[in-house]
Structure 1
């Protein structure tokens, strides 16, 4: 069976792919273009795609009898794959849950702290040679310890963020989810998003992407937040209405934002780049050697199980 991996991987993952499979590894770091998407379905039995590789219903419809039988997605999020259309065409879809949890939660806390304490702005000040020395009112930010945080989405990653907030910073945790969770720390379940947004100092997004969560954070939610509150998004860019976020920041409806993902990624509006109260990361959520290697191995574990005729360990 012929395997195509659509992006370069860590050296150990690439070595395993070549050793264990008839693998071709694409060298470009850009998403698959239209022709490549169709080639993936016609020229390969197994494909390891990732974020940006848009296996839409239209792409799948253009290849009515695909050679490909498995899309072993590299990443926990799979909103770039129309799973129903893929399954209807006879393809299995898998992902890589679990491997990304701690690294993504760490980035959420990095964004929260960096935005609250104006770390990016302060570093730019020092690098530009404009720091004139310490004084009692220099760059006053927002205290984090003991504050109230709202987590939107309480799956693996949401719970990992909440745990860091509770145990690491003594924060009061509230959350929105499909239902109340059994947790090993105190946290308040709030079933209404607007109520949650109005009650917290930090609102952290940890929901999956897709049609159900597109523009979940809109002008109404931003308007409900405290003017001193900070929004953190480590979910998917389209979860936030980016135009509404920009308007809310410009109007002072919220104090700042920490973003690792963007609605039209990799395009980031210049107006966001110009805002000192916004922390901008280039989708760093899982960007460590260990985590990316673990994700790659998990994707290949799904491939290996499929090739051997076993049940795949991480079906979508």
Structure 2
């Protein structure tokens, strides 16, 4: 049964490394949560290491720059591993061909243009209209503030008829941007699969992003890792698939499901909600602190 805790320091000494989600745990898309920042700083002060593991569809250096702009201090983390990093590897390896229809915003430009050193000599990736594409690379909706997945149904049906594969750079379905809930690349990838197409995933809950995190920290099988996140289908399911303990942040995406006090989830409601989703994280907490 999931143990509800009040703060990370109750269990922190049991672990060497944190795989910590960003959106909904460390920040709300606009500003950091001060208590969460303090919790990660304290964990590192005690000798632990922190991997910020995000399904952001951009290489890690762009995620770091975004956190800098938000005011997240650099001493709250050791390394960043993004879905964009893992998906970028797959794209330059040719997972969906060399001529791709890119469903992305201007902020995702670096995914295509900032080529990792190991891929500098690989054949180039060219962005073309859907009618000329060999595959699809989806970083997110063109305008996630106004569009919904259904707006893409016709174009995705055309892609399915042509047998194109879709590389999903962010498996998240939705996130909360401040008070507004917006759709992510995962929502389009799910719709494409519903239509009979093939989607390829590289972020949480899929193995590539966890493998990349272990490599970047040089972890061995003995490392004690705690995964922290608010996404039941990404963070928590991914931790279960990797055999990791998980701390479920109930005050993120599911903030309205566990009673009126976001900071203190109702144990009965939490247990019922988790059972319906066949998940059993080791711990739960209202907000990371």
Work out whether the TM-score is over 0.5: no
Q: TM-score, normalised by structure 1?
A: 0.37
Structure whose residues are more often strand by fraction: 2
Q: TM-score, normalised by structure 2?
A: 0.39
Instruction: Report 1 or 2 for greater relative contact order, CA contacts < 8 Å, sequence distance ≥ 6.
Output: 2
Q: Determine which structure has more spread, i.e. the larger CA radius of gyration.
A: 1
